[in-house]
Amino acid sequence: MIIFNSNKYYKMNDKKSAFEMQALFITHLKNTVPASVSLADDIADLLKISNDSAYRRLRNETVLSLDETYKICKHYRISADAIFSKQTNAVTCNYIKLTDSAENFESYLLSLENQLKQISKAENAKIIYAAEEIPIFHSFHSEKLSAFKLFYWQRSVLNIKEYQTKKFDWDVISEKLLRIAKNIHTIYLKIPSTEIWTVDTIQTTVKQIEYYFESGAFKEKEDAITILNELKQLAQSINRYAEEENKNEKPNSSIAQFGLYNSDLVIGTNCIHVTMNEQIVSYISFNTLNSLTTTNQQFCEEIEHWMKNLIKKSTLISGVAEKQRFQFFNKTNKSIDLAIERIKNY
């Protein structure tokens, strides 16, 4: 039997197969978009079609064109390959080009902010973060710590030209970037998370501050000491989150569950695994700051399996683990205090 549709001929089996693939795509789309969002309205606006036409596509009564599928994937940041591919040796990832461009770096931060907003709106959302160094969200704990990290990344990691001859001071980072950084931190505090740290997780930032001081990259010696004190305050906040098992920054603010583990194993890279609605997403760091993002089911499940094994071999230091938590943060505070003394006596 042959069906005539839009001046093209389809065999009945081909049409059925197309709708099976579309049904799979629509199911994934519905699991991606927060329940509070009207998907039909969104699709209608995005594709410039009526709401009735949008509903027909969502009910698999009208075939989505290749162009429409591309627009939807781009708008909602989902990978068609991750949905349809059954291969185990090929994974499609997204990333933002960062090198040598301040504009790209701003786009990266805005993208990170938008992704966190999407996660925070999802039901049963949770983040597991294996942290070789301080999670980027915590790096924005205060404006002064944010300013240093944003300067360090742009000058030493991304090699942005206009930063190569600059020295750090409090006016070197724009108010816009600092505002985005603050938003990222605020949103992260609202999302339940489990983090896996090592004794070196916070030490990486200590070494960055000392290296910049010894290289003459600070305008003022006191600024390096100020940032180390800001880092100590961050450690105190993480200690409090771990003790209370939530990220309650202020009284009467929304509470997000928090768990913290200390791993004696070298983690090797920053890795984030996110579950939201019925979707899973993994972020694998590369080039220090950037990350590869994928929703490939099999790959994400393998990341989840690795993280669960890492947790099994780690020590829980949140909640009732008072002794282990004290020992961990005592070492952290001592390392920061020693760095402060070295700079004072330099």
The answer, yes or no, to whether residue 223 has pLDDT greater than 80, is yes
pLDDT-derived band at 200, boundaries 50, 70, 90: very high
Record the tokens describing residue 29, joined without a space: 């789309």
Task: Single out the residue of 164, 183, 189, 128 nearest to residue 314, CA to CA.
Answer: 128
Percent of the chain with pLDDT strictly greater than 90: 61
Spatial strand order in the sheet of 290-294: 290-294, 279-286, 271-276, 126-130, 193-197, 258-262, 315-316
343 or 19, greater pLDDT: 343
Provide the pLDDT confidence category of residue 84 given band limits of 50, 70 and 90: low
**Lowest-confidence range among 174-188, 277-291, 309-323?**
277-291
Confidence of residue 81 (pLDDT cuts 50, 70, 90): low
Angle at 126 between CA 122 and CA 130, to 5 degrees: 145
Average pLDDT of 71-96?
A: 72
- C-alpha to C-alpha distance for 78 and 72, rounded to whole angstroms: 8
On the question of pLDDT at 3 being above 50, the answer is no
Q: Please name which of 87, 84, 76 lies closest in space to residue 17, comparing C-alpha atoms.
A: 84
pLDDT digits (tens, 9 = 90+) for 138-173: 999 999 999 999 999 999 999 999 999 999 999 999
Helix H, strand E, coil C: the string for 26-94 is HHHHHHHCCCCCCHHHHHHHHHCCCHHHHHHHHCCCCCCCHHHHHHHHHHHCCCHHHHHCCCCCCCCCE
> Which pLDDT band holds residue 250 (cuts at 50, 70, 90)?
low
Using an 8 Å Cβ cutoff, are 268 and 132 in contact?
yes
- Residue 248 is predicted with a pLDDT of 82
Q: What size, in residues, is the chain?
A: 346
pLDDT at 252: 55
User: Rounded to an integer, what distance in angstroms lies between the CA atom of residue 201 and that of residue 129?
Assistant: 12
**If you average pLDDT over every residue of the chain, what do you get?**
87
CA–CA dist 142, 164 (Å, integer)? 24
pLDDT at 98: 78
Model confidence at 17, pLDDT cuts 50, 70, 90, reads low
> For residue 185, what are the contacts with CB-CB under 8 A and spacing of at least 6?
137, 138, 140, 141, 146
What is the mean pLDDT of the segment spanning 119-145?
94
Handedness of CA 36, 298, 274, 259 (dihedral sign): positive
- The percent of residues above 70 in pLDDT, for the chain, comes to 90
On whether the CB atoms of residues 29 and 39 are closer than 8 A, the answer is yes
Quickly state the pLDDT bin for 4 (edges 50, 70, 90): very low
How far apart CA 61 and CA 26 sit, in angstroms, is: 12
Residue whose tokens read 């993480």? 238
Structure confidence at residue 6 (pLDDT): 42
Higher pLDDT, 52 or 82: 52
Predicted confidence (pLDDT) at residue 253 exceeds the cutoff of 80? no
**Predicted pLDDT of residue 7:** 42
Q: Is the pLDDT of residue 316 over 90?
A: yes
> What mean pLDDT do residues 92-116 have?
86
- If pLDDT is split at 50, 70 and 90, which confidence band does 9 have? very low
Interval 23-73: pLDDT, tens = 888 888 887 777 778 899 999 999 999 999 999 999 988 989 888 988 998
Tokens linked to 16: 């059925």
Q: pTM for this structure?
A: 0.77
